[in-house]
Amino acid sequence: MNANTPPARVVATPAALALIALLKTKHGPALMFHQSGGCCDNSAANCFLPGEITMGAGDVYLGDIGGCPFYMGKAQ
């Protein structure tokens, strides 16, 4: 990375990428991740299948991990 290249907004460890690959094999390639704040749904990323969650105006796309889109609540 040179001085003009911004840092990645999302990254994953090799172990996480291996788990994502396993999940994609088991559930299909259309997985997505979303991280929201708050005490009730934790502050951890959650993995969803198509149709399990709808992105809204308060969600921001940060990039892909393991070929899957990663979103975060704008307030975070």
Query: 5-64 pLDDT, tens per residue?
Result: 766 788 899 999 999 999 999 999 999 999 876 666 567 789 999 889 988 898 999 999
Instruction: At 10, list the tokens.
Output: 């999302």
> Which residues, in sequence order, are bridge partners of residue 48?
32
Interatomic CA distance for residues 7 and 36, integer angstroms: 22
Residue for token digits 């994609």? 24
Half-sphere exposure for 67 (CA within 13 Å, toward CB): 11
CB distance 47 to 23 below 8 Å: yes
What is this structure's pTM?
0.80
